[in-house]
Amino acid sequence: MPEAPPTDEGWFVLHDFRTVDWDGWRDAPEHERDRAIAEGTEYLRRHEEVTDAEEGDSAVFSVLGHKADLLVVHFRPTLDDLSRAERQFEQTALAAFTAQPTSYVSVTEISGYSTPEYFEDPESVEDRLREYMEGKLTPDIPDGEYVSFYPMSKRRGEEHNWYDLDFEERADMMETHAETGKAYAGKIKQVISSSVGFDDYEWGVTLFSDEPTHIKDIVYDMRFDEVSSKYGEFGQFYVGRRFPPADLGAYLEGETVPTSDGDESGHPHGEGHGHGHEHGSGDAHGHGGDHEHAHGDDSADADDADDEDVDIREALADMDIYAGQPHGEDVYATVLYSEAETDELFDEVEGLRGNFEHYGTHVKTAVYEARNRDRSAVVSIWDTQSAAETAAGFLSDLPGIVARAGEESGSGFGTMGMFYTVKPEFREDFHETFDEVEGLLAEMEGHQDTDLMVNVEDENDMFIASQWDARENAMAFFRSEEFSETVKWGRDVLADRPRHVFLA
């Protein structure tokens, strides 16, 4: 009898698809439409904030095509939580203008194909890998703007029957499948959920990406793997784009969503929506049950610096910290340190900034002052790398410039945590926590120094710069329990989502 792989289950998942009665919407009195928008927005907002359960996550997407108009995705610890979320929607005035053409119920899952030792003795597995796998069971919804959902099963035909194959043969095919997915690291995030006994197919696959063609490419490439070509059976595909609850009215009025003012950050779905847990999507080796997956979010250790960079970006992303894309950033920062008087430096920067603001690629230029040492930093952020490099040329002539971040002589390896915007009421707590972490850093192997620098124009805006002897020393810190705990704490005190920039 073929051996079944062990599995572990986590949060339950509901894909709630809705169609809108557009005729009824157009004919409804304005006050009814206003009420529907208000109640629908509040429902979506409260569920994204998970006020209905102790843990989880939710998101809303506009769906293209005739099969649905809206998709609301819920992750919750129990089936009862999902049931309550579904029924609470029906209590809103918006529900009267919608129908539910389909839905999908499943539960997040990992399996023993790639790491059987995790199921035999979890404590024997490397800490980072164990935490990564366990993160798959309690995921946040990934940040990718575009979503694709489809259900699938493994074939049980007379000629090709997946469940008649030996465990080793199945594991080999899954490993080959995972290799295909590795080419999409940094491009695709996935959530794999098992629906065996819950719904019509055996698994639900939800893919997330900031570029919709990446979704097409990975599904196409994987169709040629034997595990799909011979043994994969697929249901209907749905594709959509995420938007914030505040844009519900714009969506119903036919506007493009997300709108630029959907939330304070301008990001289509906010930049910091964690709920007290790390999110994971995919599996460290691309394996989840007997399902076709490995969709590009592999985080296995690599031998060269490029793979290590991708690896740590993925690890930070799982803690809801933006760390750039594998082959480029969405913004480019140049940072120069100065030993001049801060007031003198600021006066000079203010003049340059006035010129920078004439360019559409300019994002921000500001002066920051170190808390615990006599130096300041000029940070200039741009949409393109060439613009940032040009700005660096002008900034290098500022008074007292002693170094450019990442180019200090003998500095080893630098990291920079940016966009730490602290809620005003937590500013002093943030400083105290940084002092505690700084004490821990002083005892870590390979640590040189770390500065907390504060924007001279906005005391709630800060960045953290660190220098290490080598890359591996910095990576050890980012994988540490202390860093993970600090990040979890930071979700409550930060007003925006932090980012980390890795400097050569």
pLDDT band at residue 289 under the 50/70/90 scheme = low
Per the annotation, the verdict on 146 as an active-site residue is: no
Is the pLDDT reported for residue 266 higher than 80?
no
Residue (of 8, 191, 203) closest to 105 by Cα position: 203
Tokens 């009421």 sit at which residue? 425
Residue (of 315, 296, 331) closest to 209 by Cα position: 296
Residue (of 452, 420, 454) closest to 437 by Cα position: 452
> What stretches of 210-341 show up as alpha helix (H) in DSSP?
212-223, 226-229, 248-252, 305-317
The token duo for 80 is 């009862």
Q: Which domains does the chain have, with CATH numbers?
A: 7-300 (3.30.70.1030), 310-503 (3.30.70.100)
What local confidence, expressed as pLDDT, does residue 408 receive?
55
* Alpha carbons 409 and 370: distance in angstroms, whole number: 20
Give the full edge-to-edge strand order of the sheet including 332-338: 401-404, 332-338, 376-382, 362-370, 447-455, 458-468, 413-421, 499-503
* Alpha carbons 471 and 124: distance in angstroms, whole number: 26
Q: Do the beta carbons of residue 501 and residue 329 sit within 8 Å?
A: yes
pLDDT band at residue 27 under the 50/70/90 scheme = very high
Strand partners, 499: 322, 418
**Which residue in 43, 118, 150, 337 is the catalytic one?**
150
Q: Do the beta carbons of residue 349 and residue 367 sit within 8 Å?
A: yes
Supply φ then ψ for residue 236, to 5 degrees.
-70, 145
Q: Is the pTM of this model over 0.75?
A: no
Residues belonging to the chain:
504
What local confidence, expressed as pLDDT, does residue 30 receive?
93
* Alpha carbons 466 and 306: distance in angstroms, whole number: 20
* Alpha carbons 85 and 55: distance in angstroms, whole number: 13
Give the number of other CB atoms < 10 A from CB of residue 497: 21
Is the pLDDT reported for residue 490 higher than 50?
yes
Q: What digits encode the pLDDT tens for the residues 232-259? A: 999 999 999 999 999 999 999 999 999 8
Q: What digits encode the pLDDT tens for the residues 132-184? A: 778 889 999 998 899 999 999 999 998 999 999 998 899 889 888 888 877 88
pLDDT band at residue 1 under the 50/70/90 scheme = confident
What DSSP line would sit under 51-96, residue for residue?
Answer: TTSSS-EEEEEEE-SSS-SEEEEEEESSHHHHHHHHHHHHTSGGGG
What local confidence, expressed as pLDDT, does residue 112 receive?
79
Q: Could you tell me which residues come within 8 angstroms of residue 160 by beta carbon, excluding any fewer than 6 positions away?
A: 230, 231
- Distance (Å) of CA 4 to CA 112, 133, 171, 347: 9, 19, 11, 69
* Alpha carbons 364 and 366: distance in angstroms, whole number: 7
Is the pLDDT reported for residue 294 higher than 50?
no
Give the number of other CB atoms < 10 A from CB of residue 260: 9
Give the number of other CB atoms < 10 A from CB of residue 343: 10
Q: Do the beta carbons of residue 60 and residue 72 sit within 8 Å?
A: yes
Percent of the chain with pLDDT over 90: 47
